[in-house]
Structure 1
Amino acid sequence: MECLGVSSYQNLQALSALLSTQQEEDEDEDCKQNETAYGQLGPGHIGPPPKKEKEVSTAYTKKTSKDIWSEEEVAEGSQYDDLADPRPQPEYEIILKQSVGTEDLFLGLSQKDPSSMCC
């Protein structure tokens, strides 16, 4: 009888181990489901949902800015051209240089400022 008691005790322990891992897995799955439910909510979900604006498909668009001329009326680059000047216009390039170190990239701890004295 003693032999049966030990083997049945081991069988019960093995069975409880199997059942406990299934319960832990079930609890883990429940926690994951709860986490995903809470993870989907964020600050944007507070309050009523935003209203969708209606798209207006008319040919006439209302002018909301206080511009004097539209972009189509102004020729590009013509403000600097002088038609009465017979001299050839020189070619030029604008090149900007600035010394940038690691302190500028990460924290900005140097004593440099964006003025032209610190280039």
Structure 2
Amino acid sequence: MDSLGLSSALGLQALSALLARQEEPSNDQQKQSLSADLGPGHIGPQAAGTPDVSTGCSHKDSKDIWGEEEVAEGPQYDEQQDARPQPEYEIVLKQTVGTEDLFLGLSRKDPSSLSCEAMLVKIKLPDTKAAEVLLD
């Protein structure tokens, strides 16, 4: 039994020596770690410095009609000559709904403006009489 215990102790020491040698980095592992640190950007000559990158668009497209500085910003359809104050208004869209719409859904109407039959525009004109309003 003593010989068996002695051989097992020697076997454990030999095993620990093998494992201790594997934990030390070998040349192959060092080469693998160096190659793992390299990437596609390391191929070819290294750049001398960082290039200057402009944030603005420096090239001009030959198909452009106007430059960006020539185009005025703001509402497109407001008339600048009309100095009168704009009145308050409300647009009400009306649609006729029957039983076939409510219960069966046969006409495929929905609450969007595409399914409306009439449009009512309510304009609020305080301090104005109906005789003073001209409709063209």
Asked whether the two chains share a fold, i.e. TM above 0.5, the reply is no
Larger Rg: 2
Structure with the larger strand share: 2
Q: Point out the structure with the larger helix share.
A: 1
* TM-score computed with the length of structure 1 as normaliser: 0.43
Q: TM-score, normalised by structure 2?
A: 0.39
Identify the structure with bigger relative contact order (alpha carbons < 8 Å, sequence gap 6+): 2
